[in-house]
Amino acid sequence: MSSSRARLARLLPIVLAFALTAGCGGGGGGGGSDKNPPGGQVLQEAANVLRNTASLSFTLRTSGDPKVNVKSVDAKLLKNGNSQGSVQVTELGLPIQLDFVVLGKAVYFKGLTGGWQKETLAQVAGIYDPSAVLDPDRGLVQLLVTAKDPVTRGKEKVAGQDCYRVHATLAQAALGRLVPGMTSDAPADIWVSTADKHVLKAEVEVASKSGGKPGKVTIAFADFGKPFSIVAPAK
C-alpha cells in the first residue's frame, strides 16, 4: 500500500466512526414542564420513529477545540449499512478532504488528488460495523434510549420546524460503541420535532484538546426515509 493510500486508509475509521455519530442523544425518564412532555417521553418517541427509519442524511460540524480529528461530515446512510459522503479531517495540523462510499463489506475512498481506492471494510474500519448506524439494536436507537436524566427545556425551531429541546447525558457505553475513544459520559442537547418526532439536531459537548473550554460537535439530520441510491463510484 502506498504512503498516500495508507494515510487515507488510516483516516477511514475516523470518517466512519463519525458517521455513526449521527446518533444524537436520547433516552430514559426525566423532567419537563407543565406545558411540555417529559424528556424521557420525547426521546422514547424519537427512538420509536427511528426504529422504522430506512435512511437519512446528516451534516456534522465542530466548533471550539473539541478533542476530535473530524472538522466536518456530509453523509447519506441506509439502514443496511451502506453510506456515501465526504469528510474533512485534520492530520498534523493540515486539513484533508476525503470522499467515501461504503457498500456491504467494501469501502471506496479518495482524496482531493488521485482516483478511487478500494479496501475491505475490515481493513480500514474494523473498529466498528457501519451496519450498526440504523440498526435498532445497536446504533442510534440505543444511544437515544440509554441517555441519562433527559429533561425537556422548552421549544425551539430547527429548520423551520417546532422542536422540543431535551438536555441529557449520553452514556459512555452506548456512545463509545459509536465513537471509539470516548472514555466518559457526554452532555448533549437534542431537538426533536413536535410533529413527526424526528430527531433534527444534536449538540454534544466534547472535552477540549487544550484542556480549556469544551468544544461542540453539532449534527443536523434530514431526508428521513428518502430512497438514496448508493452505488460503487466509477473508476
44-99 pLDDT, tens per residue?
A: 999 999 999 999 998 888 888 877 777 888 889 998 889 898 888 777 777 788 89
**If the chain, 235 residues long, is cut into consecutive pieces of 10 residues, what is the mean pLDDT of each piece?**
63 61 40 76 96 91 81 87 85 80 89 86 60 75 91 96 96 68 80 96 87 86 95 88
Q: Output the nine-digit C-alpha cell for 18.
A: 463519525
**DSSP 8-state symbol, 232:** P
All domains of the chain, ordered by start, with CATH? 3-222 (2.50.20.20)
Cβ atoms of 16 and 125 within 8 Å: the answer is yes
Phi, psi of 14 (to 5 degrees): -65, -45
Prediction pTM value: 0.83
Phi, psi of 141 (to 5 degrees): -60, -45
213: helix, strand or coil:
coil
Phi, psi of 17 (to 5 degrees): -60, -40
Cα 221 to Cα 198: distance, rounded to the nearest angstrom:
9
